[in-house]
Amino acid sequence: MLSNQKSTSFNSLERVQYSNITSLTGFLGGMDKSDVPFVYHHLRKGCILNLHAINGEDNRRLMFGVNYGSYRLGILSSSMARRIQELEMNGKIYRITISKIIKEKYLPPTAILVELESESDFLDQVA
């Protein structure tokens, strides 16, 4: 007898590669100091998000903030920030979208999983 059980991966980072697109997922940090309670009813899977670099005297590492329009949602993990820096240095095209929203009904999200999609060098390495 076969069962139809779905397995959900809750790894903090998960990497998937399609034909020429590489995808990296991870949770947003800093949601406790964000504008999520004001905008969560507009957030859906697949929404394209905006990035901005966070600069300051106390920041010793590269950090990116994630916005939905002008609303602050949180910050990216350091591994995703390093990947974005590599993509920008190589002139690659990328986008960040909402992959999954973890919440209870009628309440703001407790976690947001974002997905970084970028063009891959897979075909260049084969040739």
CATH of residue 27: 3.30.70.2330
**Is the pLDDT at 74 greater than 50, yes or no?**
yes
Count how many domains the chain has: 1
Instruction: Report residue 72 CA to chain centroid gap.
Output: 13
Domain presence at residue 5:
no
Domain presence at residue 107:
yes
DSSP state of 29: B
Query: 76 is in which domain, residue-wise?
Result: 17-119
Per-residue model confidence as pLDDT tens digits over 23-71? 888 899 988 889 999 999 999 999 999 999 887 666 567 789 999 999 9
Number of H helices, E strands in the chain: 3, 7
Q: What is the DSSP string of 68-108?
A: ETTEEEEE--HHHHHHHHHHHHHT--EEEEEEEEE--TTS-
Torsion angle, CA of 118/119/125/126, rounded to 10 degrees? 120
Predicted TM-score (pTM) of the model is: 0.74
